[in-house]
Amino acid sequence: MNPETELREGLDDIAAHYKEIIKLLGEDPKREGLLKTPMRVAKAMQILTRGYTQNPHKVLTDALFSEKYDQMVIVKDIDFFSMCEHHILPFYGKVHVAYIPNGYITGLSKVARVIDIFSHRLQVQERLTEQIKDCIQKTLHPLGTMVIIEANHMCMQMRGVEKQNSITTTSAFSGAFNQAKTREEFMKLL
């Protein structure tokens, strides 16, 4: 089974509800172009929320490597796409992660996997930032972790809410990153 494309229970029900929504929006769900739309949307929504069935902690604990390196590890410019839980519209952008190993490192692609799993759930940017930080902190037990997310929110841009091109930046940090000097070192390298 491929967890990226695996469809879950409830698909037919989700499609039936979307058919109703299309009708309530004033469209004709029997119109040719819309006939298969409810099922397409249902499948898309299941894929966009596949993170509920995946375990980000396991991704990291399965790929822990003992390593003496104790300088800052930075993974920057990781693209992500998520859905805001207030409007179920996309928000997307870049994630930058830094941690200072304490005996263990993980594969760089695993950090991207963790971001992928948390972002494929209904989210707010602030919680997404915290969850990525906590997951790394609780599995690798580094001396500190810091996560920065820069994102565009379609719910603001498409609805014409004030600053349409503004980017929202959030950050979360722990351990050694409580020191301003350490945070500055990370930010300088971005």
Binding footprint of Zn ion on the chain (CB under 5 A): 84, 86-87, 155
Nearer to Zn ion among residue 5 and residue 166 (C-beta): 166
Q: Is 57 a catalytic residue?
A: no
Nearer to Zn ion among residue 16 and residue 88 (C-beta): 88
Q: Is 86 a catalytic residue?
A: yes
Cα–Cα distance, 100 to 78 (Å, whole number): 18
Give the pair of three-digit tokens for residue 21.
């929504």
57 is in an annotated binding site: no
Point out the catalytic residue in the list 123, 125, 131, 137.
125
135 is in an annotated binding site: no
DSSP state of 176: G
Nearer to Zn ion among residue 82 and residue 171 (C-beta): 82
Helices within the chain (DSSP H only): 11-24, 37-48, 56-61, 108-119, 125-140, 154-157, 180-188
Minimum CB separation of residue 112 from Zn ion in Å reads 24
Q: Is 135 a catalytic residue?
A: no
Q: Which residue in the shown chain puts its C-beta closest to Zn ion?
A: 155
CB atoms within 10 A of CB 12: 11
Cα–Cα distance, 147 to 153 (Å, whole number): 18
Nearer to Zn ion among residue 64 and residue 89 (C-beta): 89
**Backbone phi and psi for residue 5, each to the nearest 5 degrees, phi listed first:** -120, -5
Q: Is 164 a catalytic residue?
A: no
Point out the catalytic residue in the list 17, 57, 87, 141.
87
Specify whether the CB–CB gap between 146 and 177 falls below 8 A: yes
Point out the catalytic residue in the list 6, 20, 27, 86.
86
Active site residues: 84-87, 125, 153, 155
Binding site: what residues are annotated? 84, 87, 155
